[in-house]
Amino acid sequence: MALSNNDIFKKLRVALKLRDDEIVKILELVDFKVSKSEIGSFFRNEKHPKYVECGDQILRNFLNGLVIHLRGPMPKKEVKK
């Protein structure tokens, strides 16, 4: 029984105690714009008429933004001459 992207997203939201507005801010860290209502549609019951499947791109961008949110931005690499 494999987990869907929606299941993974839900579990991360609960484990990290994130609200929808915090998720929007995390996605903005990687320049990915999404509204709170779009985020809410990922967490609905699968049988709900407004349910939307979470795509790989959204989950990937959320995870990348989460790294920046928790660790901070990566330091600039120095160019050696």
**Count of domains forming the chain:** 1
pLDDT, tens digit (0-9, with 9 covering 90-100), for 26-70: 999 999 999 999 999 999 999 999 999 999 999 999 999 999 999
The one-letter code for the residue type at 9 is F
3-state SS string over 4-66? Answer: CHHHHHHHHHHHHCCCHHHHHHHHHCCCCCCCHHHHHHHCCCCCCCCCCCCCHHHHHHHHHHH
Minimum mean pLDDT among 15-24, 29-38, 42-51, 71-80: which range?
A: 71-80
Is 43 contained in some domain?
yes
Is residue 74 over pLDDT 80?
no
Are the CB atoms for 60 and 12 separated by under 8 Å? no
* CA distance linking residue 25 with residue 35, whole number of Å: 10
Is 79 contained in some domain?
no
Is 26 contained in some domain?
yes
